[in-house]
Amino acid sequence: MKNVKYLFFGLFIFIVIASFILPGYFLPSDILSTLPSFHKEQWIKPKNSLLGDSVFQFEPWRQYTKSRLLHGEFPLWNDQNSKGAAYFANMISSILYPLNIFYYIFPVHVSLYLIHFSKLFFLFLFGFLYFRALLCSKNMSLIGGFFVTFSAFPFVWLQWPQTNVFILFPLLLYITEKILQSRTDTYRWYVLMSIVYCMAIFGGHPETLFHIAAIHFCYIVFRLRNDLRKLLHTLIAITGGFLLGAVQLLPFIEYLFHSYALVERSQIQNDFFLPLKSAVLLVFPFLLGAPHTAFYRPILGTNFQEAIGGYVGIPVLFLGILGGLGFFGKNRIITFWTTTTVILFAVVYKIWPFYLLTQIPVFSVSANQRFTGFMAFGIAVIAVLTLQNLTKEKIIITQKTKKRILYLLAPLGMVLLLAIGLLPLSLEYPSTRESAFIAFLQIHLLALFLSVVTFLFFLWLLVRNKKKISPFILLIPIFLQTVALFWNYNPTTSQQDYYPKTELIRTLQNLPKGSVLEVGNPQLPQNLNLAYDLKHIENYDVLEIKAFKDKFNALFPDKNHWGKVDSVNEKHLRELGIAYVISDYDLRLVRQKIQTDQNKRLPLDSSETKIITDFKPIYSDLREVRIITANFNRENTCLVTISFQKKETKERIAESEIPCTNVNNNMFYSVTFKQAELHPGEEYQLIFQSPNASLDNSIALLGNSMQQPYLELLYEDTMNNAYSLLWSKNSIYLWKVSDVSNMQFNGKANFLIQRPEEKLIETSSQIDQRLHLKQPYYPGWEAKVDGKNTKLLNTNPFVAVDIPKGRHVVSFSYKPLSFYIGIIITLISSFVIFVYFLRNEIKQRDWKPTKVQKQIPWYQHVIVFTVGIGLSIATFTFLVKLFPISFRMPQTTAINWYTLHLYPRQQDYFYFYTSVVYVLSVTLLIWGIWIWKKSK
Amino acid sequence: MEKKQIILFVTESVVILLFLLFIGSGLVVSPFFGGINMIDEGQFGGWIAHMIHGKHLYKDVYAAYGPLYIYPLYGLSKLFGPSVFLIRIVYIILNTFLAVLIARVALRTLRVSFGLEIFALAMLLVVPGFGMRQGMGLLAIILSFYAMKERRLVWSVASGVAIASSFLVSSEIGIFTTITCGLLFIYKLITDEKIQDILRKLYLIVLSVCIIFLLFFLWANGEGWFHAYLQTILDDFQTYSGIALPNGQNFPNALQLMPQSPSVVSWVKFIVSQKLLLYWLFFFYLVTFLFLFVRLALRKSKQTDLLIFLIAVYGFFLSMILIGRYGHFPFTLSPVFIIFAYYLNTLINIFIVSKKRTEKFFSAILIVIICLFSARVISIYRPHFSKVLSLPQAFVSTKNSPKYVGNVTISSSQTKAILTLQNFIDKNTKLTDAVFFFNNEPMMYLLVNRDNPTRYDLPEVAITKEKRLEMLNDLIKNRTRYIIDDTQAWSVDNVSNRQRLPEVYEYMQKVYNKRRLDNFIIYTRKDG
């Protein structure tokens, strides 16, 4: 592999072309079908139900960012969720991350492929560079790049911002090695170090950034401990990186202390570890099934994504262990990574005393279980260095070593035994789901075993015939253990599954804009609303402003197992300015909770099975029965009947039924009864049964260990007219709350401008007044009355201003000081780094133009420039004609030529700047090519 | 430069300056002759009138210009009494002085011949666009160039003072100047071997800027208008960079202006049309950047290239004003004339010295292009040029101007209008009464010597609803007795103030009675 740069270049070109050609969307948006509101007639199991965050949050955020940027607005604030919250300051929005630029430029389906494939590509490239810096051969470095890239962590977190940051880790290690090795051009590596840290900040995952910084700091100290000057300069370069990223970092820090993030984190400290038993997945990843296969149960107290992060494939793990134990030579890098990996393992799996490290501040509120990715990286490094030693150096394998290797291979034999031993079990239950799982497990284990054996065989061949056999042969079994296993982990979906517009969504979009609250089931989870340009009263858990969240929790304390509000009253809805409610039951009814435990599944898997509950009604006119259903990723066509009877006489009173196709997993379902007159105080029985259920075609109810289902009864309340029903279908209701306003003012008040970062309100009143605006109080917001600063009052959680009598214009605008100070720090540090770099670069290089270039007569340059300018103007004009852009008229209260002629002025700026940059670039490019040809 | 050369240079400059002042320059209009420009000259008149009445700039009067632009005139008005003549003569002297100073120093530094110096100076003065704003920016750039070039630290102090002053003349120009000088400092920091010298000079520059701003802060804060000044600056940035700017139209679209017919005449007309000159201007800057890039890349650059680069960058920034306000074309031209003189000097030398025909041919073509552009610009502003020729007659003619006009001959119709209004105001109001002029004619406040009940002398500046309601509330609060609407007044961008200020106009219709007085409509408050 001589021309590696061509390989990487070709690979990138391939990725770009593939992104344009590949069909569908690289986003598991079919997950939406698990929500009752996105229910399909023909339900198909989502390809990977664990990737919800990318669908519910990351993609809607990207869409929101793109939409705002294309309107010429920088999205500092998001007013679509929780009545407003800082948006740019939320690092996860990663607006400035370079790979996200693809999203702003290219069509969505192209950019989704491009962003995620590029992540893997850069991880591969940076891994390769790091191994090269460790003096591995090109082939071995490529293999190392493969180990690093195709381990589990980058795959399972590919759609998360964690990998935005994680892919930069090997690059930082590479730069560190280069700093160690370089003599004359160290300044370049310092500058690059700063830039990479800045990119890591823009990557949008502070936790991973913290993890990287912690491990990288140890690495720097370890590698540069003998050269204190370089060590100091490297630390300064890292500080420079943080200063470069100040524009993102400062607003984030401000946000952190005003948001719910720290509160929430401090409440769940014990969740930041993995149970030790889940370490078995590092060897047998599909032992509990996998979310992208037909089988998966998260029964080890953690989910697949968290637990699998350290998986690198058995051969790599095996090599890593051998190398770590010093079987085939030791060096300092191996020692460092062995120590680091062991410590990380102890931290991740909470092994005493190492886990005490996580009691240190910052560690105590960060997700330490995600150190698994770094652990896997360490194993991969040790494995590659071991392979390098095995294939390059003359290693004599002694009898003792052979024995030890055999001991280590013993577990593999056990795997085989296990695989064979499970066979009779699968024969015993030929038609059940369990036997299918056992068959799946057998294939999995056998595949693992065979690929390990193949790997060992290839390794043996390689060690014996170093020069004849290509080391790339080793990648075949590795491929089977990693890429093949995770092949469809990040699935693609069709265009119709990419944020489909359901009937509910269309109804909401046709209504005047107002905040939506979900009651009961998740129907339009927070942030998903951004994909449909709708407003939601909640925000991604950690993003909410603390005061708002506290108020929300105080007004709506009744939460269900989804973390959703379960009951509401109109006063509180109005207080928060909630205009619409989506619920799974009729809000106008009075509720009676009969049994609320839901820790056991009560299956209805045969026609004989009956679930009976006794109850005493408190009102007479029963309208709905609310239960929780379990329909676990299955297609079921059964029918469930629900009937009432008097307990004593067994007289049947009413009956209703649910088609199983209508119910979702763990969701509430409200069954409607049209005529069910009960006598309060008398005893009744409620009976659930399914006449056509079988083991393969059944659902379950959630209930308690006494076989009583979760049960609520809802009765008619003729007095309640606070809600008007806008739409209803399949136990989903959309309500309008009456008399809701985002403003409170005893006079005339109307919005002139409503942009996320600016609200302009015209008011008129006969007396001095206070204007209340339902927008959270947050640093950076300021108010003006007729252009003059006025005090913004904090009414916790919202804002208000005092307005004198008469006619006025009140403006609320978001101008965060943290952002502007951040920009200044970023600009100053960029300037210093730029000057530092160029000064050194000029000192370093003494470039002189060739004689030919000096001899070119000046008018030839004129001719080339004339051609260049002419050509660039012609092509620019052509492009402008070919891709006309429609600019939106900005919101303004100004009356001038532009507003009277509806001329969006930003288009002049856009065409001016783009044309100047384009003409200069193209002309200089043409001139550059011409001069290059001349000098040849 | 030797001492003798410096004396000669200064003597020449003084002679040129005196000559220009004697004939009167075409910078604005003649100080002795020509109708009053109620808007451009008028705003200075209005501001001075209010300041003399005890009001503070920015706090009580909205002004888009910097304090250093207005306060010298205010001082002289206190001394000599305010008049249109004073406004004209002060700015003509200042502008002509700056033009001579800049053109001569810049072109002497660039080693341009005396003839071409005169060419540049003539262009600067004939085209009515060179003022204190443009001049202060160029001066700061030239001084910064010298500060970096010369060893004496006094240049650094001068540079710092000039940069700070450019800010105080106009915040917009201050930003352009700071960025341009910033580029120079960055370049020096990167390339200069003696970085400590550069840092020392930079320190002095920054220190000088800080001292000037500190002095300004002490003064402005002492008078209580510093905060209002800052607010106005920020407001200006937002206003003029966004869509809510008071005056301006779209940048002419060359594709739409292109003739449909293939006729050569229509194409020539199109190419030399006034609107396409905007494109030509940007084209010249583009060519300058390319030219300098080639020299830098081929290691042929000289120290003077840096000055050309700085002037071009400044000119480019200045030209960006045209996006939205292309009517301000003449105000952006001054840097390009200095660059032209430099190009012409180089090209004429090549044309004379070179023996190669191709070289002669290309230099001739480029000379012709520059001359054609200059000639076309002059032809656009020929009325100003011809006014200068009428100067001797105006100088000796008998003046019978209304109050506050001074020694300026204006048209009889304008005289009549002013007198009518002055009589009306004198008869019906006291000196302490405020009168509101609904049109963009701020000079009227000086001519009738009355205050404005609002902050806006140019009502069109109250562009947003916030400002319009502020204006309305001030009118209500002050119970303004008279509002005057000049039916002959010019509507900026063909958008009248009745359209621009609907809330105020509606209020006028509701609360006031109206009657006609010659060309004016007098709105009188119904309840007295």
Q: What are A712's strand-pairing partners?
A: A593, A626
Give dist(CA A580, CA A726) in Å, integer. 9
The token pair that represents B194 in the structure block: 């003696």
Per-residue pLDDT of A422-438, as tens digits, reads 666 666 665 566 777 88
Amino acid residing at A180? L
- Output the CA–CA distances (angstroms, integers) from residue B476 to B453, B479, B525, in the order listed: 9, 5, 11
Per-residue pLDDT of A826-851, as tens digits, reads 999 999 999 999 888 887 766 566 66
What ipTM was assigned to the predicted interfaces of this complex?
0.92
The token pair that represents A701 in the structure block: 């109810």
- pLDDT of A18 reads 95
- Output the CA–CA distances (angstroms, integers) from residue A518 to A82, A538, A551, A573, B108, in the order listed: 12, 9, 17, 12, 76
Q: What is the pTM of this model?
A: 0.84
Nearest CA distance, A466 vs chain B (angstrom):
50
Nearest CA distance, A850 vs chain B (angstrom):
9
- pLDDT of A267 reads 65
Q: What are A808's strand-pairing partners?
A: A763
- Mutation target for A interface from B285, B290, B325, B440: give the one with most A CBs within 10 A: B290
Q: What is the average pLDDT across A663-673?
A: 88
Of A596, A602, A604, A610, residue with least CA distance to A558: A596
Q: What are A770's strand-pairing partners?
A: A802
Q: Say yes or no to pLDDT of B21 above 60.
A: yes
Helical ranges in B81-131 per DSSP H: 84-109, 114-126
A807 vs B494: CB contact, 8 Å cut-off? no
Of A152, A148, A153, residue with least CA distance to A130: A148
Q: What are A686's strand-pairing partners?
A: A613, A644
Candidate from A396-405, A707-716, A730-739, A853-862 with smallest mean pLDDT: A396-405
Q: Say yes or no to pLDDT of A511 above 80.
A: yes
129-188 of B, contacting A, C-beta below 8 A = 186
The token pair that represents A696 in the structure block: 């393969």
B286 vs A916: CB contact, 8 Å cut-off? yes
Q: What is the average pLDDT across B260-267?
A: 88
Candidate from A388-397, A876-885, A902-911 with smallest mean pLDDT: A388-397
Give dist(CA A552, CA A556) in Å, integer. 6
* Rg, C-alpha atoms of chain B: 25
Among partner residues A838, A880, A898, which is closest to B190 by beta-carbon distance? Answer: A838
Q: Would you place residue A418 in the very low, low, confident or very high pLDDT band (cuts 50, 70, 90)?
A: confident
Q: Would you place residue A357 in the very low, low, confident or very high pLDDT band (cuts 50, 70, 90)?
A: confident
The token pair that represents B112 in the structure block: 């341009």
- pLDDT of A396 reads 66
B495 vs A897: CB contact, 8 Å cut-off? yes
Higher pLDDT, A178 or B96: A178
A861 vs B469: CB contact, 8 Å cut-off? no
Segment (H or E) for A144: helix A138-149
Q: Would you place residue A881 in the very low, low, confident or very high pLDDT band (cuts 50, 70, 90)?
A: confident
Q: What is the average pLDDT across A659-663?
A: 83
Q: Say yes or no to pLDDT of A854 above 70.
A: no
Higher pLDDT, A287 or B101: B101
Nearest CA distance, A774 vs chain B (angstrom):
21
- pLDDT of B28 reads 47
B294 vs A927: CB contact, 8 Å cut-off? yes
Neighbour-count burial for B230-263, b at 16+ CB within 10 Å, e otherwise: ebbbebbeebbbbbbbbbbbbbbeeeeeeeeeee
Name every chain B residue with its beta carbon within 8 A of the beta carbon of A912: 251, 320, 323
Residue labelled with tokens 């310092």: A190
Higher pLDDT, B382 or A527: A527
Give dist(CA A232, CA A229) in Å, integer. 5
Among partner residues B363, B469, B500, which is closest to A895 by beta-carbon distance? Answer: B500
Give dist(CA B243, CA A904) in Å, integer. 7
3-state secondary structure A770-817: EEEECCCCCCCEEEEECCEEECCEECCCCEEEEECCEEEEEEEEECCH
Q: What is the average pLDDT across B149-157?
A: 92
Q: Quick one: closest CA in B to A924, which residue?
A: B290
- pLDDT of A632 reads 64
Per-residue pLDDT of A360-390, as tens digits, reads 777 777 777 889 999 999 999 999 999 888 8
Tell me how far the alpha carbon of residue A401 is from its chain's centroid: 45
B195: contact with A, CB 8 A cutoff: yes
- pLDDT of A184 reads 82
Nearest CA distance, A191 vs chain B (angstrom):
15
Name every chain B residue with its beta carbon within 8 A of the beta carbon of A906: 243
Candidate from A298-302, A743-747, B250-254 with smallest mean pLDDT: A298-302
Give dist(CA A179, CA A241) in Å, integer. 16
A892 vs B242: CB contact, 8 Å cut-off? yes
Of A440, A153, A455, A107, residue with least CA distance to A290: A440
Name every chain B residue with its beta carbon within 8 A of the beta carbon of A893: 244, 464-466
Are the C-beta atoms of residues A136 and A384 closer than 8 Å to each other?
yes
Give SS3 for A540: coil
The token pair that represents A667 in the structure block: 């969701």
- pLDDT of A429 reads 63
Per-residue pLDDT of A60-81, as tens digits, reads 999 999 999 887 789 999 999 9
B255 vs A877: CB contact, 8 Å cut-off? yes
The token pair that represents A827 in the structure block: 């600009």
- pLDDT of A271 reads 66
Are the C-beta atoms of residues A843 and A260 closer than 8 Å to each other?
no
Name every chain B residue with its beta carbon within 8 A of the beta carbon of A923: 290
Summary mean pLDDT of chain A: 88
Nearest CA distance, B304 vs chain A (angstrom):
18
B227: contact with A, CB 8 A cutoff: no
Are the C-beta atoms of residues B318 and B335 closer than 8 Å to each other?
yes
Of A167, A183, A155, residue with least CA distance to A129: A167
Orientation angle between helical segments A314-324 and A433-464, nearest 10 degrees:
50
Higher pLDDT, B263 or A166: A166
Q: Say yes or no to pLDDT of B313 above 70.
A: yes
The token pair that represents A599 in the structure block: 């820790």
Amino acid residing at A489? Y
Cβ-Cβ contacts under 8 Å between A and B: the total is: 142
Contacts of A2 (CB under 8 A, 6+ apart): A138
- pLDDT of A423 reads 66
Give dist(CA A635, CA A45) in Å, integer. 8
Nearest CA distance, A236 vs chain B (angstrom):
20
- pLDDT of A341 reads 95
Preceding peptide of A797 cis, ω within 30°: yes
Q: How many residues does chain A have?
A: 936
Nearest CA distance, A849 vs chain B (angstrom):
6
Per-residue pLDDT of A457-489, as tens digits, reads 888 887 777 667 788 888 888 888 888 888 889
Give residue A690's region: left, alpha or beta (phi > 0; psi -120 to 50).
beta
3-state secondary structure A185-244: CHHHHHHHHHHHHHHHHHHCCHHHHHHHHHHHHHHHHHHHCCCHHHHHHHHHHHHHHHHH
